[in-house]
Chain A
Amino acid sequence: MKWRNVALLFKKELKSAIRDRRTALLVVIFPLLFYPLMLGTIMHFTGRGLQNSTERVSSVLYVGRKASPSLADAFRKEEKVGVRYLESEREAQKAYERGEGDVVVLAEKTGKDNLKVELRYSRWQSESELALSRIQELLQAYLKGRMETKLAELGLDYRELSPPLQVEVVNTGTENLQLGREMIKVMLPYFIVLAIMTAAMGLGAEITAGEKEKRTISTLLVSRLSREEIVIGKFLAVFVVASFAAFLAVVGLVYGLSLMGFQLGLGGMGPISLGEMVLTLLPLVGILSSLVIIIGSFARTQKEANIYQTPILMTVVLIGILSMSGGLEMGEIVFLLPLINSLEAFKEIIEGGASLSHLGLTFLSNFTLAGLSIYFSIRLFKEEKILFRN
């Protein structure tokens, strides 16, 4: 293989790509403007949603007012709780099912001074969960107050009897900063992968299946370029364009969101973190670039290539969602699985605690797969049955 030949084809593909408006849109406009705007909008509305939920008054359906008038009164006095007293459990349950309350409180007297409180709520329903946590806080405060009163009646001081352990939880950041950092940790890798995919897909389909469709491929095949040189030249063009899109996505998302006034808390990220990002990203770009070359070599037309690329894009989206959900608990194995490993390693890098073994596994696994994919795309390109599929 002559690298001079590879370079000639690479330069031609790059020149062609730069002059294409679609490339400009997918490689520059999307990562620099569209993705930051998209993520900014998501962050803005998530922030507003959080703010709204903290300001929201939780509606409580309360049964058993007579069981403890003081507790019932405590509910009434609570600012963020709107209480509605009902006579029976059945009545409360029906009202709850109609969506008239976030939580049902069933207070029942079980002894002279004993009270049993049952709380009914819906897990996964944010309003209900918020109401529950407020009620739990209220009940704790009520219990503490009752204890203090009772102990005082016995001539004892609650503070002296309470366990010698005091837990204080301090919020170290502003809500905005916490939200920004959490969102960027989860979504930045995902958007970067999307940027790589969209850039690679468009160009990859054009310079492979597009060459077949426009019948320019035969002029390349009747030149000094060997099939290996053609595949490597095309692969490198997609690789460079997709890497550039990834770089612009990082720039666009980090600086774009900062410009929009979001606090991302990425100040601690230095050159080492950036180097780790590059090592994590490049083999991934290699895998995705060779995948689009494989698909493009197999497809007869650009349209067909785009159709075949869709499942890959869908898989990327699915894996991205899985990674964002935080439910991927597979231990070290996760760093051997392509794509997921990059997303997870990226999260660690942003958090500032990337483990060397995780980064190493990610790099090795992706680098190996990228190499295999390139090898496979060369093999495929040499197959007449594939290249001239009819």
Chain B
Amino acid sequence: MKNPKAGQSITVRAEGLTKIFHTRGGDEIRAVDDLSFSCRSGEIMGILGPNGAGKTTALRMLTTILSPTAGKATVNGYRVGQSPQRVRDSVGFLATETGLYERLTAEETLNFFGRINGLSEKELGKRKKEVFQTLDMTDFARRKVGDLSTGMKQKLSLARSIIHDPPILIFDEPTRGLDVMTAKTVTDYVKRFKEEDKTIILSTHLMNVVERLCDRVGILFEGKLKALGRIEELLEERSVADLEELFFSLAEDSKVKKNQR
């Protein structure tokens, strides 16, 4: 059973979320096209798609980094375009590609991100203690980020995204480019955050990550959501054996539709 707490309140909702970019030649690129989904607390929602499918753009809109061209989204009850700061207060964001400040120590990194996310000195001290213990970071707290191993850096990135104890975690390709051990560390912590009743939305192009972690999955192709639901339901709907088969069957559909256009 993957989602014992499913059915709790909806914390993230996207309705017709669309993002259009323009090329230099003036052509439109619909990076995300009419994306609608919702996600509850204690749920891990996976967004699966090939490179360029619009996963990162979708997550960037949910985290207020990009503003939607059309549609709306609410995060923790706040509209993305209207209360961006409230939305950001509610969100922890992590991407494997996201770097860290090499010349700060691990502790200084947490101090900085804790403070810019609104924690007081007292709250920060308490939270740091918890995070250091949870992620087993005490040994390298005083070491400069530049001197840390990849695994340590990944732990620190996780710590940075949860330092202000946000109810919603948005992870963009959190295991991309990581070795098996480090990737496992990340996925273990994602499971742990779910147990803490947090909402987790993660994008990936790795099917095994979705199968192991996610309660529900949304599959994106060329900005459009082609499938959304519990994995077993989707497999049944399409009469396919596994996620990989489902993915390729949707990819084929998408290709046919594109050719027909």
Contact = CB atoms under 8 A, between A and B. Distances in A.
Interface stretch (B108-116, B130-138, B226-234): B108-116
A223 B117 contact: yes
A90 interface: no
Contacts of A16: 101, 103-104
B97 A215 contact: yes
B93 A222 contact: yes
Contact of B101 (A216, A222, A224, A226): A216
Contacts of B100: 216
B36 interface: no
A13 to B, nearest CB: 9
Contact of A214 (B67, B99, B104): B99
A218 interface: yes
Interface stretch (B2-10, B84-92, B197-205, B244-252): B84-92
A222 B64 contact: yes
Interface residues of B, number: 28
A12 B114 CA distance: 12
Interface string B61-73: 0011111000000
Given A12-B104, A223-B113, A224-B118, A384 B93 contact: no
A216 B153 CA distance: 13
B113 A219 contact: yes
Size category of the A interface is 20 to 34
B116 A20 contact: no
A12 B100 CA distance: 12
A219 B85 contact: no
Given A5-B116, A215-B95, A224 B85 contact: yes
Contacts of B95: 215, 218
Nearest to A230: B116
Interface string A221-236: 1111110000000000
Nearest to A214: B99
Q: Which of A12, A15, A226 has the most CB of B within 10 A?
A: A12
A9 B116 contact: yes
B160 interface: yes
Contacts of A20: 103
A386 interface: no
A8 interface: yes
Contact of A219 (B64, B66, B93, B104): B93
B260 interface: no
Contacts of B85: 224, 226
A219 B160 contact: yes
A123 interface: no
Interface string A12-41: 100110011000000000000000000000
B104 A223 contact: no
A222 B67 CA distance: 13
B259 interface: no
A388 interface: yes
Nearest to A390: B21
Nearest to B57: A388
B117 A224 contact: yes
29 contacts: A9-B116, A12-B104, A12-B112, A15-B104, A15-B108, A16-B101, A16-B103, A16-B104, A19-B103, A20-B103, A215-B95, A215-B99, A216-B99, A216-B101, A218-B65, A218-B93, A218-B98, A220-B116, A221-B63, A222-B63, A223-B88, A224-B85, A224-B88, A224-B89, A225-B116, A226-B85, A384-B66, A384-B67, A388-B66
Closest 4 CB pairs of A and B: A214-B99, A222-B93, A19-B103, A223-B116
